[in-house]
Amino acid sequence: MDIYTSTLSPALDIGTGCYLLFVAVLSIIGNLLVLIMAYKRSSRMKPPELLSVNLAVTDLGAAVTMYPLAVASAWSHHWLGGDVTCFYYGLAGFFFGVASIMNLTILAIVRFIVSLNLQSNREKISWKKVKILCLWTWLYALIWALFPALGWGRYGPEPFGLSCSLAWGQMKHEGFSFVISMFSFNLVHTFCHHHLLLLWHRHQAPFHLQKIDEQLQPNP
């Protein structure tokens, strides 16, 4: 049987397509509203809010570039376009997926840093640093998404035949190093972020305590 023929029933394919269309419309409308609101209040935005805008861009990009093909394929009971669109879909999905995960990770870290520094009147994090972090999410995602395109790992159809992603089953032998490296690198990446946060907190703690002591001292 053709690897791009759906293993689901035609009725289930139609239902899946309708569900994906519903999710796509909600995602596009919701993320467009976020971008419109961000544009309207751009002069009053704080630096960390740029990460939320960046997250909306990643989600919108995934919805626009992936959902239409997935919906059309589901309603056709067959993946449309063969190997070319499968490669495109897998690369786009991995790229936007990694970018979204990285953006959420950085957003959580920035919010944690801001929460540790609530008593300070100085700027919690600069625009320059946030812009660098946003660019890093895209660069990080692009690097990992291109590895399978260059032969380290591979993209392929998923078992049910209506989507494409990393061909995990085929990479048990050919791309095992890719899976292990990706897991190890992300683990080390998270570990480094954790220790950087601890170092930052230890560095800032004496200043917070000094400020609190000054506030508690009675006025002469």
- Strand 155-157 and strand 164-166: the pairing is antiparallel
Q: Taking 90 as the threshold, does the pLDDT of residue 91 lie above it?
A: yes
Question: Tokens representing 76?
Answer: 């056709």
How many distinct structural domains can be found in the chain?
1
**Residues contacting residue 36 through CB under 8 Å, at least 6 positions apart:** none
- Whether 5 maps to a domain, the answer reads no
Residues 189-209, mean pLDDT to the nearest whole number: 55
**Neighbouring C-beta atoms of residue 168, cutoff 10 Å:** 14
- Whether 67 maps to a domain, the answer reads yes
Measured CA to CA, the distance from residue 133 to residue 94 in angstroms comes to 19
pLDDT above 90 covers what percent of the chain? 34
**Residues contacting residue 5 through CB under 8 Å, at least 6 positions apart:** 77, 78, 79, 161
Domain of residue 23, residue span: 10-206
Q: Which residues pair with 157 in a beta bridge?
A: 164
- Whether 213 maps to a domain, the answer reads no
- Whether 166 maps to a domain, the answer reads yes
- Whether 1 maps to a domain, the answer reads no
What's this model's pTM, rounded to 2 decimal places?
0.80
Query: In this predicted structure, what is the pLDDT of residue 211?
Result: 45
Q: In this structure, are residues 171 and 179 in contact, taking their beta carbons and an 8 Å threshold?
A: yes
- Whether 85 maps to a domain, the answer reads yes
Query: In this predicted structure, what is the pLDDT of residue 209?
Result: 39
Q: What is the CATH number of the domain that holds 122?
A: 1.20.1070.10
